[in-house]
Amino acid sequence: MKRAASVITPFIMAAAIIAPRVEAVEIDAAVLAAEAERVAVMAEARTKTVAIFPPEGNGGGSGVLITPDGYALSNFHVVKGAEKHMKCGLSDGKSYDAVVVGIDPVGDVALIKLFGRDDFPSAEMGDSDEVRVGDWVFASGNPFLLAHDFKPTVTYGIVSGIHRYQYPAGTLLEYADCIQTDASINPGNSGGPLFNAQGKLIGINGRGSFEKRGRVNVGVGYAISINQIKHFLGCLRSGRIVDHATLGARVASDQDGRVIVADVLDDSDAYRRGLRIGDEIVAFGGRQVRTANAFKNVLGIFPQGYRVPVSYRTKGVTHHTYVRLPGVHDLEELLQKTQGKMEPEKGLPPGPPKPREEPGAPGDKKPEPEKPKFKLPFGSGHADAEKAEIPKLVKDAFAERRGYANYHFNGVERNRVCLALAARSQLQGNGAPWTIEADQLAGTSTGPTSAATLTIDDAQVEYRLPTGAAVLPLGGSFVGAAEPQGSGGMLAALSLWRRLVTVGPDKFGDLQYEGTFTLPERPEQFDVLIGRYGGVTCRFFIHPQQGDLASLEVAVDDAVDPCELFFSDYHENGGRWLPRKIEVRHGDAIYVVLLPKSWQFVPKEKP
């Protein structure tokens, strides 16, 4: 042994002599600082990433928190297996109960609500329209449901494509305006966040291109753009099953590359705005469109009911207008397709293997081993997971109603908006008649002016001018009540305005929260209440911060344009905030502009 040691030692010494000396490499301070910043951004982003495990073991996936009170985004196909209740884990190792709020099954987006705290770490939303090919991005999530400790996996890459359109999968799912990335997105990443280099949320990961023989990412993944989700977010908070929009027209590219209207429904708002077969679509939804595919890409980012700017060219003349977008599906069709069976995402880990059989004589019958129950983590995506009891706070936050994923949250949002409106108007419970003295500008924003008196009570609405009066008796149906002629239903609209602010949401009639929508020439989002009273549909657009009523539209005839009232120039009057300007529109024309000078909310004394 001693001799062997004496032989080996010279070789070790020789190797040490001839081995090259490793010189210390000085790394540029800027590189180290960039690395430290990247690590810090990713560490912060991981705290906002959610690992989602449906308790009954039907799949699973990822999500991202967007508000401190626990609202989080995910994919519809992730939460579909959860039905109502799910368990969610964060990177701090703690788990939280959660409930479905609203779903967009066409766009594959879901909003959920986590319970247990009011200071959840939440992601800041970026602007996905500013994303460019080559931008550094990273995905965070729970690929293959490996995050049993809830610590998400982070993958890094670049944006390899923008504004990608994915044709509908099956009969429902459609990905429009996607962000394409080579950051690895695998089964289980679904519903998780895609961040830009600054840690801002720019998309929700939803699809990947996979090798055919296995669910392994090949470097092409797709994220739903956050700007599309912003359009839908208010609708998702309403608890609804939200549909996507259509134009009411079909387009095609001609031989010159123009986007031409190939067909248009004559009962659509697009037709009423003047769109005809053969017209060229120049711009839509704020974007130039040069191909039919590009048009579909933009159309796919809007929910049903949105009103978007459209530019079209007829015989060389360009027209600019706003079009109300109908839904792609009717409610019955949407419900049928949404409530159908959806299998868990392919490529996720299978259930645990069955216990091995002990060797024995052929034909020996052994007792069936008890099927194991797995509790880590709350089901782990396995079919054999122990079924979890739904906590009371989750049960209390769920209500069923046809057309809704969770009607409970519609009540939450409706009450929030109505309380803000009541606080500004200070008229709830005051059933006294209204008398408004006003100057009016007939059909224009410049003179001449004339005097007008509006009287609104429970029995009738009267609009009195020096030349005569228009009167609408109340108590019956508003269908066809288009008085005064040419207004499209101004008196009906004024009555519904008074009804909402005096009797409140519970006594108004059928009233729900619809979501957030924009108004023509006003890019900000308004809370919208949709009601049904007197046989007609009405919408109230309410400022989300001030609580002022910005607009009211009433459709007394579904085949024609609604009457629209736009309220502005609010001022304080005896503790109430009241408008100094009411513009009445029907279609593309201004019917009248009312300039209230005085308001009375007390019964007139009898002579």
φ, ψ for residue 53, nearest 5 deg: -130, 100
- In the residue annotation, 77 being an active-site residue is answered as yes
Q: What is the pLDDT of residue 216?
A: 58
Sign of CA dihedral 490, 567, 418, 501: negative
What's the mean pLDDT in 51-79?
Answer: 89
**For the segment 362-371, what is each residue's pLDDT rounded down to a tens digit?**
444 444 444 3
**Residue ranges per domain, the chain?**
42-237, 249-324, 410-600
**For the segment 455-492, what is each residue's pLDDT rounded down to a tens digit?**
999 999 999 998 889 999 999 999 999 999 999 999 99
**For the segment 155-183, what is each residue's pLDDT rounded down to a tens digit?**
999 999 999 887 765 556 778 899 999 99
62, 74, 140, 190: the active-site residue = 190
| The two three-digit tokens of residue 567, written as one number | 């309220």
Q: What is the pLDDT of residue 144?
A: 86
3-class DSSP state of 282: strand
**For the segment 565-576, what is each residue's pLDDT rounded down to a tens digit?**
999 999 999 899
- Residue 16 belongs to what H/E stretch? helix 2-18
CA distance 555 to 559: 9
pLDDT at 375 over 90: no
pLDDT at 203 over 60: yes
Q: Which of 23-27, 57-61, 207-211, 303-307 has the lowest mean pLDDT?
A: 207-211
268-275 long-range contacts, Cβ below 8 Å, gap at least 24? Answer: 268/326, 269/323, 269/324, 269/325, 269/326, 269/561, 270/310, 270/323, 272/560, 272/561, 272/587, 273/310, 273/321, 273/322, 273/323, 273/588, 274/312, 274/314, 274/319, 274/321, 275/249, 275/310, 275/312, 275/323
CA distance 86 to 97: 6
Reported pTM: 0.86
Q: Give the C-alpha distances (Å, rounded to integers) separating 80 from 28, 127, 331, 593.
A: 49, 28, 18, 49
**For the segment 85-137, what is each residue's pLDDT rounded down to a tens digit?**
899 999 999 999 999 999 999 999 999 999 999 999 999 999 999 999 999 99
Q: What is the pLDDT of residue 205?
A: 95
Q: What is the pLDDT of residue 373?
A: 39
- Top-confidence residue, 392 or 127: 127
Q: Give the C-alpha distances (Å, rounded to integers) separating 266 from 480, 562, 588.
A: 20, 16, 17
Q: What is the 8-class DSSP label of residue 478?
A: -
Q: What is the pLDDT of residue 351?
A: 39
The pLDDT mean for the chain works out to: 86
Q: Spelled out in words, what is the top-level CATH class assigned to the domain 249-324? A: mainly beta
Q: Give the C-alpha distances (Å, rounded to integers) separating 576 from 426, 569, 571.
A: 5, 13, 8
CA distance 417 to 336: 31
State the fold for domain 410-600: outer membrane lipoprotein receptor (LolB), chain A (2.50.20)
Q: What is the pLDDT of residue 379?
A: 43
How many other C-beta atoms can be found within 10 angstroms of the C-beta atom of residue 23?
Answer: 6
Q: What is the pLDDT of residue 565?
A: 98
Side-chain-side CA neighbours of residue 269 (13 Å): 24
62, 74, 77, 244: the active-site residue = 77
What's the mean pLDDT in 405-411?
Answer: 97
pLDDT at 353 over 70: no
8 A C-beta contact, residue 90 and residue 412: no
Q: Please state, for a pLDDT cut of 90, what percent of the chain lies above it.
A: 68
8 A C-beta contact, residue 555 and residue 536: yes
Q: What is the pLDDT of residue 352?
A: 36
Reference 433, options 456, 453, 452; nearest CA is: 456
Q: Spelled out in words, what is the top-level CATH class assigned to the domain 42-237? A: mainly beta
Q: What is the pLDDT of residue 336?
A: 83
Q: What is the pLDDT of residue 382?
A: 40
Cα 21 off chain centre by: 60
Q: State the pLDDT confidence band at 192, using cuts at 50, 70 and 90.
A: very high
pLDDT at 7 over 60: no
What's the mean pLDDT in 316-328?
Answer: 95
Q: What is the pLDDT of residue 445?
A: 55
CA distance 80 to 60: 10
| The two three-digit tokens of residue 234, written as one number | 């208010």
- Top-confidence residue, 538 or 340: 538
85, 91, 97, 108: the active-site residue = 108
Q: Which of 1-5, 51-55, 326-330 has the lowest mean pLDDT?
A: 1-5
